[in-house]
Structure 1
């Protein structure tokens, strides 16, 4: 069997989407290490151009970066990618918000991974007024490419259901391939990583429980609610700390923290190297995910892989990912979240609970992710080459246990 040359089409690194970069990196590494006999994979992305940085007054400006981001995403990346079309048998766009790139690729040889349907919200729930024109135009361009691709892999059944229910794709050309969990996410100590976390956070104090949240500050992450929950926890556990991994809070969040009197109890950490992130998870008394929308939620299963208790919003996708080993509260019910988290902090976390969490998390594997993705590659390639006439996802569906 000839090796398939596959381009793993990644986001611009400068955009800083840690989860998207992780998926691209993990997929490319597994394809290279585990499937090199069948797949010749290369992670590709063009150089991010910064034309506005030459103007001193615009350096560091958010509006300037957004303008450069639009230039690179919607003009320069497509132009560059058109030059790559003859170099690969298949193209795999790992972030659905880059689906517009399909408009510049052979659609019958393009696969897209969809993480959620946020990129299409401007069309599905359009806002009123002139401001909606540009977001709708961008969403339309992305959706056009999304619909043209030969196959869409979805990171969860909930994401696939949302795609199909909203008429974005046919169920016949969508398949679920769940994200994996990095092997470094483990309850077992790692001396160097644990030491690195201790250098940042100080020595772990049993009387100062660490409440951990990992993720961005996008509105759907409900950071203001996270702060309210932590303030309630701090009333019972006054020495508690809120560890926020994923960059600084927005000014409005700090204002809320000031009103709640918890500003001095918050520790801000950037997106961390994976081993150090695992060390931070291992220190957590409880991990909170109060989001009101998710496509998969890697922090949920990563925390469980490290053996730590998690409270997550009661969303279908989070129940799908967290199973019976996580705890759930209604999104927005602050009192229920406080009560549940405090109950966890008062409960002895025995070995059986830790083992149950890690066993559940072990079903999410990047090895499995890459193996099932290779199956999709072969199916798409067979149709594109004329070996078969119909692309069927039935054989690609995971076997139910």
Structure 2
């Protein structure tokens, strides 16, 4: 009998960043890893066209599910299980933190982070985060298998959600190598460039990076580019408050080609984040030959290994001194080569293979056996 794996992509819109990159990279490799298995995707009407562009199977829009988070959450609670049964699901996989919240079809869910549990927010945001955290917790607790994208996240899942160890499988993410290996491009004026990327959620701590640059002597401050943040970047007020208008650029979201060019120009990449589920930007920067500075937290040490400069990113003075040390090493080709080699150990092929091993057991009714623990 043909096995059918239904992939829950109800929240896929084409604009949700890392979790959608993960879904694209893993699902595209599943046909070769799960031969003879039929694949089908549950999607919202707004996300259907985007999913059809990459998904290697049937794509089924679920009625009344739109692009908003509330509509997506309602779809998970009230519609996903029924829709999966309608597709003849042998098993269901939710690759983006959320899935159905009751036991039913054998199910796996990938947990990328527990940010909503760790950062409560304030006001209306606090209520949204509390509801989101509860839905995530119920989805994980009622799943037959949970896939965590790092060992640090796996430990958080076990500790915060109280899941038994044999239901939590650690399968690290991969990274995408540069499309075309390119030589590093240095500024003709000799000015150093520090790059950072990401959204403006408070835990990303880009304000901490700006405060570190502000404590540097003006004559030795590097140029800084922080991508993300949209057209009305909330960091602009901090740039003005700290008097950094002549050093900091906030270009908003940039294209893939523009980001590759920034990596080529960057002397140092800084990840000042206080919380991460994996830390993919660290690997992306290392793989492109950047010297990297990262906040000293377990998950970023797991991802960066011995190739990264670690520091307390909540201390502007400490972060400033570490950036200075990293800039002094920016021309060290041995360090850059070591970073590229380390990043090369994290591949999407390996991530897909580890994920497929969990899903294969789920499809065969063996979800509680053969716990997956992968290290690069």
TM-score, length of structure 2 as denominator length: 0.83
Contact 1:112–1:152, Cα closer than 8 Å, also in 2: yes
> 1:7, CA displacement in angstroms?
2.8
Matched, 1:323 2:305: yes
Alpha-carbon shift at residue 363 of structure 1 (Å)? 1.2
1:296 is paired with a residue of what secondary structure?
Answer: coil
Asked if 2 retains the 8 angstrom alpha-carbon contact of 1:185 and 1:302, the reply is no
Distance 1:163 1:5 in 2: 28
Aligned equivalents of 1:218 and 1:367: distance in 2? 30
CA distance in 2: counterparts of 1:224 and 1:166, whole angstroms: 28
Number of matched pairs: 356
CA RMSD of aligned residues (A): 3.1
Give how far 1:138 is off.
4.3
What does residue 57 of structure 2 align with?
none
Aligned to 2:52: none
- 1-side partners of 2:298 and 2:337: how far apart? 24
**Residue matched to 2:347:** 365
SS at match of 1:84: helix
* TM-score computed with the length of structure 1 as normaliser: 0.78
Deviates more, 1:141-150 or 1:11-20: 11-20
Instruction: Please state if 1:392 is matched with 2:369.
Output: yes
Distance 1:274 1:131 in 2: 30
Q: In the alignment, which residue of structure 2 is the partner of 1:226?
A: 209
Instruction: Write out per-residue CA displacement over residues 321-351 of structure 1, whole angstroms, 9 at most, x where no aligned residue.
Output: 0000001001311111111112222335232
CA positional deviation for 1:47? 1.8
Q: Quote the residue 2:94 is aligned against.
A: 93
Structure 2: how far apart are the matches of 1:146 and 1:243? 37
**Which shows bigger deviation, 276-285 or 373-382?**
276-285
Residue 372 of structure 1: CA displacement?
A: 0.8
1:118 aligns with 2:115: yes
Counterpart CA distance in 2 for 1:153 and 1:229 is 36
* Cα separation, 2, equivalents of 1:21 and 1:136: 23
2:79 and 2:128 map into 1 onto residues whose CA distance is: 24
Q: CA deviation at 1:90?
A: 2.3
CA distance in 1, matches of 2:298, 2:6: 32
More helix as a share of residues? 1
2:257 and 2:104 map into 1 onto residues whose CA distance is 38
- Judged with a 3 Å threshold, the aligned counterparts in structure 2 of structure 1 residues 77 and 271 are, in CA distance, closer, same or farther, namely farther
Structure 2 residues without counterparts, runs of 5 or longer: 48-65
| 1:233 Cα deviation after fit | 4.8
1:243 maps onto 2:237 in alignment: no
Q: Does 307-316 or 137-146 show the bigger shift?
A: 137-146
Q: Cα gap change, 1:86/1:130 in structure 2, threshold over 3 Å: closer, same or farther? A: closer
Q: What is the CA–CA distance in structure 2 between the aligned matches of 1:268 and 1:251, rounded to whole Å? A: 7
* Consecutive unaligned residues in structure 1, runs of 5 or more: 50-66
Return closer, same or farther for 1:205/1:8 CA change in 2, 3 Å cut-off. farther
Match of 2:170 among 169, 176, 184: 176
Task: Provide the C-alpha distance between the structure 2 equivalents of 1:22 and 1:152, rounded to a whole number of angstroms.
Answer: 19
Contact 1:314 1:331 (8 Å CA) reproduced: yes
Are the aligned partners of 1:185 and 1:303 in contact in 2 as well (CA < 8 Å)?
no
Matching residue within 144, 153, 158 for 2:152: 158
